[in-house]
Amino acid sequence: MIAPEYHITYALTVILLMIIVLVTDRFKASMVFLTTVALLLIGGIIEVRDFISGFSNISILTIFLLIIITASLNEYFNLAAFFDRFLGKARSDRSFLLRMTSSVAGVSAFMNNTPVVAMMMPYVYNWGKQNNINPSKLLIPLSYAAIVGGMITLIGTSTNLVLNGLLASEGQEVLSFGDFIIPGVLVTAGCLFFIYGVGPLLLRNRKDLMEVLEENTREYLVETVVAKDSPIIGLTVEQAGLRNLEGVFLTEIVRGKNHFTAVSPAHLIEERDILMFAGETSLIFNLLKNGKGLELSKKTEFHIADNTDVAEAIVTQNSTLDRKTVKEVGFREKYDAAIIGIHRKGEKVSGKIGHIALHTGDLILLVTGPNFRERNHRYQDLLVINTIEKPRELSRSQKLIFWVGVAVSFILMITGVFKLFEGLLTIALAQGIAGMVTLEGAKKNVSLDLLLVLTGALAIGQALIDSGAANYLMDTVFSNAAEWPPLLIIGVVFLMTFILTSVVTNVAAVSIVFPVVLGLAAATVIPGKALFLTAAYAASCCFATPFAYQTNLMVMEAGNYRFSDFLRIGLPLSIVYALIFLGYLIFQFDLL
């Protein structure tokens, strides 16, 4: 227990360390938040009930209901076909860009934006390839459209709901749908207009990984041939000592027109078989010299064969692969696929593939076997971006049950009988009765990591208030705030939150800023609602860096972007976003 006179110093030190660790990205955000809460508990800054209460917070529960509902809609409704009716009429890249961003923003207002981007990425990626438009011209706009669209409603992004949870825990009036609609529509319209007008000029053409693979195949794969006098002819792969090789691994055997992927240890080797190896391909020469009778292919160059299935996949947010090595999870056996390359933050990850720990957002190149699609659907650890998955079919009775549930829910919410949580719970129950949601499926979609981050954020906000650190920060940063023009205070709050959200998670940003904003609402003449909306909108101004938001990381790998690509378009877009929002506040709350 820390003496009361040191509570402020201790709380600020712990939270500063949390920010530093989050920026380094060496540990999972959930573990960072959990450790932070543990240190605050040990120091006596907060009590156990402050942390536990977060698990029953209505805003946190609402977030998970939305995740479950959205995941079910993704699985059973062909939203890509819905978009295709609208986007298929596009005759140019700009026409597609406008139609795509506006429709994604509209859907993201009511659905969790991360699964919306996950669903749309394969569609947008493949549309670009089919129309000879580089996907790098389209994928950042996809992410940005989902982010701004999420600010049209209270439920569009988890940050808004976390802020409401913080307000409720302090006995403050929570924000409503009506508080977001007008500024959200204005900000979204302005940002989409900017993306349409300036985006194509600021976004560079980047080669996607399939192009990189085709042009630099030997950096990923080495083709060898079993010589006539090879001693391994007639032996299995395991007997030939081709398992657990140093730095490389066997991904495929080509025999005539037959391709054997995710090779079994019991597979027999025959004369003139072509063996494809991946990994640290520079080490292949060690294999050629060890007397196994393998020769380097005489082709000066080669291409991935048409009947070799190569997939690009992203490690998803809730993936069980996160922070685990390829060898640890038994990737080849589990997924019937072999990893031939891993890209992270726009760069190829070097080293032994089996020893590389996968991270959420990594883009991996796979040579896949016939069972890969089915197994990936079962585990839901990877998002394949160069294939559009078909939705599962619903019977008439299932559709009827679902739509009746939706209708009842909306009627009861509009008439005021149900609040948002009860309405969403009704929809989720209808999905459960219709067989669209199972307990097993819900478990897969409800991430313990996300739960720890969200509840941890509430506890951190409480710690800043209880320790007196929030008042200290307010007195330090806003020492004479009562004498400042209201617009200056709003501007400083926005800038402070924007900087935080650009380097740590937006949930962390809003939890740190909230206590300061709460103090400002009490100490100045600025309406509390104006300050709270500023915190919400600034926390979702996540355009300037790829690390500011999950969807940015997703498209970063798929589009083979660099950090500079996000700065190039994201920084001016952030200025447009801020100016439109601040303009709304000036008009709505008479801040001049």
User: Could you say which of 337, 368, 384 is where a domain stops?
Assistant: 384
Predicted confidence at residue 312, as pLDDT, reads 82
Which one-letter amino acid corresponds to residue 1? M
DSSP state letters, 64-132: HHHHHHHHHHHHHS-HHHHHHHHHTT--SHHHHHHHHHHHHHHHHTTS-HHHHHHHHHHHHHHHHHHTT
347-348 sheet: strands from edge to edge: 347-348, 337-344, 363-368, 310-315, 382-384
Together in a domain, 277 and 146: no
Together in a domain, 380 and 409: no
Task: Give the mean pLDDT per block of 10 residues along the chain (592 residues).
Answer: 85 89 81 92 88 85 86 75 70 85 92 84 85 89 96 92 90 91 97 94 78 60 85 91 78 84 86 82 70 72 52 82 88 83 76 82 81 82 76 84 93 88 92 86 77 87 86 80 86 93 85 90 90 96 88 84 90 97 94 80
pTM of the model: 0.80
Together in a domain, 105 and 83: yes
Question: Could you tell me the CATH number of the domain that includes residue 245?
Answer: 3.30.70.1450
Which one-letter amino acid corresponds to residue 376? N
Name the nearest CA neighbour of 517 among 187, 184, 167: 167
The answer to whether position 170 is within a domain reads: yes
Together in a domain, 398 and 276: no
Predicted confidence at residue 114, as pLDDT, reads 82
Whole-angstrom distance, CA of residue 90 vs CA of residue 29: 40
Together in a domain, 353 and 439: no
The answer to whether position 428 is within a domain reads: yes
State the CB neighbour count (10 A cutoff) for residue 318.
19
Number of domains in the chain: 3
The answer to whether position 174 is within a domain reads: yes
State the CB neighbour count (10 A cutoff) for residue 34.
18
The answer to whether position 515 is within a domain reads: no
The answer to whether position 577 is within a domain reads: no
Together in a domain, 378 and 398: no
Q: How far is CA 225 from the centre of its chain?
A: 41
Predicted confidence at residue 145, as pLDDT, reads 97
Predicted confidence at residue 302, as pLDDT, reads 44
Together in a domain, 232 and 270: yes
Which one-letter amino acid corresponds to residue 429? L
Together in a domain, 69 and 204: yes
The answer to whether position 349 is within a domain reads: yes
Together in a domain, 137 and 235: no
Domain that holds residue 324: 311-384
The answer to whether position 416 is within a domain reads: yes
Percent helix / strand / coil, the chain, rounded to 5: 60, 10, 30
User: Could you say which of 241, 263, 292 is where a domain stops?
Assistant: 292
Whole-angstrom distance, CA of residue 246 vs CA of residue 354: 10
Which one-letter amino acid corresponds to residue 471? N
The answer to whether position 455 is within a domain reads: no
Together in a domain, 173 and 232: no
Together in a domain, 277 and 348: no
Predicted confidence at residue 388, as pLDDT, reads 64
User: Could you say which of 427, 445, 463 is where a domain stops?
Assistant: 445
Together in a domain, 235 and 146: no
